[in-house]
Amino acid sequence: MRNLLEIQKQLLPDLMETLKRRYTILHQIMLSDIIGRRTLAASLDMTERVLRAETDLLKSQGLIEIESVGMRISDAGRRLLDLLEPIAKSLFGLDDLEEKIRTTYGLSKVIIVPGDCESSPFTKRELGRAGAKALLGVLRSDDTIAVTGGSTLAEMADQLSPPLSHSYKNAWFVPARGGLGESMEIQANTIASTMAKRVGANYRLLHVPDLLSEDAYQSLGLDSNIGEIVGIIRRSRIIVHGIGDALEMTRRRNLDEATVAEIQGEGAVAESFGYYFNEEGKVVHTMLTMGLRLEDIMRTEVVVGIAGGKRKAKAIHAMLRFGQEDILITDEAAAVEIGREIDNEVQLPL
Amino acid sequence: MRNLLEIQKQLLPDLMETLKRRYTILHQIMLSDIIGRRTLAASLDMTERVLRAETDLLKSQGLIEIESVGMRISDAGRRLLDLLEPIAKSLFGLDDLEEKIRTTYGLSKVIIVPGDCESSPFTKRELGRAGAKALLGVLRSDDTIAVTGGSTLAEMADQLSPPLSHSYKNAWFVPARGGLGESMEIQANTIASTMAKRVGANYRLLHVPDLLSEDAYQSLGLDSNIGEIVGIIRRSRIIVHGIGDALEMTRRRNLDEATVAEIQGEGAVAESFGYYFNEEGKVVHTMLTMGLRLEDIMRTEVVVGIAGGKRKAKAIHAMLRFGQEDILITDEAAAVEIGREIDNEVQLPL
DNA sequence: TAACCCGGGACGTTTTAAGACCATGAACAA
DNA sequence: TTGTTCATGGTCTTAAAACGTCCCGGGTTA
């Protein structure tokens, strides 16, 4: 059932909006027993004219009856509404959840794609698409954008397609951090260059390992070339970062057991751009690396976090508590978990 | 799955059109491997510009890839097509069937509503709605319309709602025939008056029984009042008639056993406006009654037949072979049967 | 009976879709 | 190598649809 909608959404991107709108109108008419056009328009916050177009359609479909005293739902309309209810629930459910998360943590935007990244590669792709769309929504023509690595970011880069007739040839994509000992495709460097190519922008790479010894850090810091690119990175207006589970990231970074134990001992649950966060969103561990620093993130105008899957819910939630996110892209599985935790928190003080 | 599609058809009738269009385009691109805009536009009979709008959208959805050599379907597009196939079948199946029936019997229009009248009252209602819509499509402001009786016609009358801003106050609705010994709601007289009222037209009634003795026929024929209304009936520009199973109609008319046996013996399968037809569409039995005669039907401009349900498929088919129909409104159950029979016919000569 | 709200009509404005052309570039055949 | 063909993508103009807004006659209600 739900599946069909997802399929159609690809061919009819504005299907959901229309469906929601008409459902809402029909629903409102049902609730109101009988209601006039102007009153209805006001209560739904629509202009009279567009409402009229919709009600004319509903009438021609036999879903409502229009009389001189106003509009009322027909039997067919009532039946349709019944059939539509479960669909509408899930349709509006995510909206509500987006709004809840948004207001709770003061974000400017939250996007939840239906499904679960962990179980479906399609959902992961959708997550990437949503991220790409969100990025294009905030991207200006001469921006500098710092991106981290990770498979989700890689997917996002793949899904990034330049909008028709808009030039980003003065924009710069840079990696937020150095390279991890991982496959090429999900390196921050790779992602920065892919994104740049896809939208017709420029890119700079940071050729240093993510994890540095004190010595190496000092000596590399003196390199003028590296210094320059780090300077660019730190002045980014936009950061797009994945969010990782702390434990998983220690493994991916191949940290030694002592360090892993230390990080775990500090209660770290989330990792992003080289910092480890505990459940309260406090930084509990910092890695000595080149690239973005905590203070840069604080002053960055647009911080876009992107991650999905139930297993990452805790980590995402920690990042939200950290409080620097502006836009969150996640999936239903993670969002539902986060919503649950928000409810628990609210109930505790009672 | 199918269910949701039906719901959407009600709430999003316009989106279904675009869904079809985009599916067709995507499908064609898939079949063509790689194809240019102009070539594709020509093969789909669209102008280049509107095709371009669609392909731009398909591209932005990541369903096709546009290169300098032309357009080709992407992996995601191919997957989507697979998923969409069963849906498209039901979306297009009926259209194809309509066209097949239409061309086979030289009709001007065939409308098939999804479902089965016999099993679902909703389908019957839809049949009525479709009939009403079709009638309004051919109705002029000063027409005379003859209608028969029957439950389907009654439903059609109920679903008839006057189109916005069009006056039929010079139109006349008349019954095609006299009254049957049946319930009031499905009398031709009742239906004619209901329809007339609903579109703001006039009506005349024919107060004679459907079945007449020779004597009665002669004497009533001399009545000037009846003569006048029969004259109007016979000059109708439009006839809307139900189609009945022959056997069933003999029962409804309460014919005596001898007559029933006679009609059956003649191979009658269909009944409409008082005539019985065999499988080949030949009139095999005529009832002595007032109202429309065969020769009137021959010269009538617009003959609209409306009936549904698998059980009536044979009868409908016989009427099509009779060859006087212009518009046929039926349901999926009957149409599928008819389609099957057409296929058999075509294959026989091979 | 007066005030109010209804649907439906009308109209000017704005936005969107469509049509028509052209520039440019890759592929291909001579 | 060069000319031709067909592709995309851009732009300009025009036609049409959508929209905001106001008004009118009619029915309902206080």
Distance (Å, whole) CA B274 – CA B210: 8
Alpha helix ranges (H) inside A105-142: 121-138
Distance from CA of B183 to the nearest CA of A (A): 24
A244 touches A270 (CB < 8 A): yes
A194 touches A205 (CB < 8 A): no
Interchain pair A4, B87: CB under 8 A = yes
Ranges of beta strands (E only) in A218-301 are 238-242, 244-245, 268-272, 275-278, 283-286
At residue A253, the 3 state secondary structure works out as coil
Is the pLDDT reported for residue A350 higher than 60? no
Per-residue confidence (pLDDT) for residue A112, from 0 to 100: 93
Residue that has been written with the tokens 């009634």 in this structure: B205
Per-residue confidence (pLDDT) for residue A98, from 0 to 100: 93
Per-residue confidence (pLDDT) for residue B268, from 0 to 100: 95
Is the pLDDT reported for residue A78 higher than 60? yes
State the average pLDDT for chain B.
88
- What are the CA-CA distances from residue B33 to residues B47, B48, B63, B78, B228 (Å)? 21, 19, 13, 11, 67
**Tokens of residue B187, six digits:** 């009398």
Q: Which residue type occupies A197?
A: K
Q: Which residue type occupies A48?
A: E
Per-residue confidence (pLDDT) for residue B127, from 0 to 100: 92
Query: Is A83 an interface residue toward B (CB < 8 Å)?
Result: yes
Is the pLDDT reported for residue B286 higher than 70? yes
A71 secondary structure, DSSP code? E
> Could you tell me which of B342, B266, B276, B260 has the C-alpha nearest to residue B315?
B276
Q: How many CB atoms lie within 10 A of CB A171?
A: 22
Residue B51: which nucleotide is closest by CA–C1'?
C18
Range 163-202, chain A: CB under 7 Å to any strand D atom: 164-165
- More confident site: A149 or B221: A149
**Separation between the CA of B47 and the C1’ of D19 (whole angstroms):** 27
pLDDT per residue as tens digits for the range B36-70: 998 899 888 889 999 999 999 999 888 999 888 88
A282 secondary structure, DSSP code? -
Distance (Å, whole) CA B51 – CA B71: 12
B186 secondary structure, DSSP code? G
Question: Which bases on strand C have an atom closer than 7 Å to a protein beta carbon?
Answer: 5-10, 17-21, 25-27
A310 touches A340 (CB < 8 A): no
B residues 89..128 contacting A (CB < 8 A):
122, 125
Per-residue confidence (pLDDT) for residue B67, from 0 to 100: 87
Is the pLDDT reported for residue A300 higher than 80? yes
Nearest Cα residue in chain B from A61 = B10
> Could you tell me which of A151, A95, A97 has the C-alpha nearest to residue A121?
A151
Q: Which residue type occupies B230?
A: V
Residue B36: which nucleotide is closest by CA–C1'?
D7
Interchain pair A10, B57: CB under 8 A = no
Per-residue confidence (pLDDT) for residue A35, from 0 to 100: 92
Distance from CA of B240 to the nearest CA of A (A): 22
For A251, half-sphere exposure in the C-beta direction (CA atoms, 13 angstrom radius) is: 5
What mean pLDDT do residues B159-165 have? 72
Q: Could you tell me how many residues make up chain B? A: 350
Nearest Cα residue in chain A from B12 = A19
- More confident site: A221 or A16: A16
The beta-carbon neighbor of B60 closest among A84, A87, A161 is A161
pLDDT per residue as tens digits for the range B178-228: 766 566 677 889 999 999 988 888 999 888 776 667 777 777 777 878 889
Q: Which residues pair with A174 in a beta bridge?
A: A146
**Tokens of residue B96, six digits:** 């194809």
Distance (Å, whole) CA B140 – CA B293: 23
CA B41 to chain centre: 32
Which H/E stretch holds residue A174?
strand A172-175
Distance (Å, whole) CA B97 – CA B148: 26
What mean pLDDT do residues B151-173 have? 83
Q: Is the pTM of this model over 0.85?
A: no
- Domains of chain B are 1-90 (1.10.10.10), 93-347 (3.40.50.1360)
Q: How many CB atoms lie within 10 A of CB B344?
A: 9
Q: Which residues pair with A286 in a beta bridge?
A: A275
Per-residue confidence (pLDDT) for residue A164, from 0 to 100: 58
Is the pLDDT reported for residue A346 higher than 80? no
B284 in contact with nucleic chain D (CB within 7 A): no
Interchain pair A19, B3: CB under 8 A = no
Which H/E stretch holds residue A120?
none
Sign, CA dihedral A212-A217-A221-A222, equals negative
Q: Highest mean pLDDT: which of A81-90, A197-206, B254-263, B334-343?
A: B334-343
Q: Which residue type occupies A14?
A: D
The C-alpha angle with vertex A138 and arms to A249 and A50, in degrees rounded to 5, equals 125
- What are the CA-CA distances from residue B115 to residues B6, B118, B335 (Å)? 10, 9, 10
Per-residue confidence (pLDDT) for residue B350, from 0 to 100: 52
Pairing relation of β-strands A172-175 and A202-203? Answer: parallel
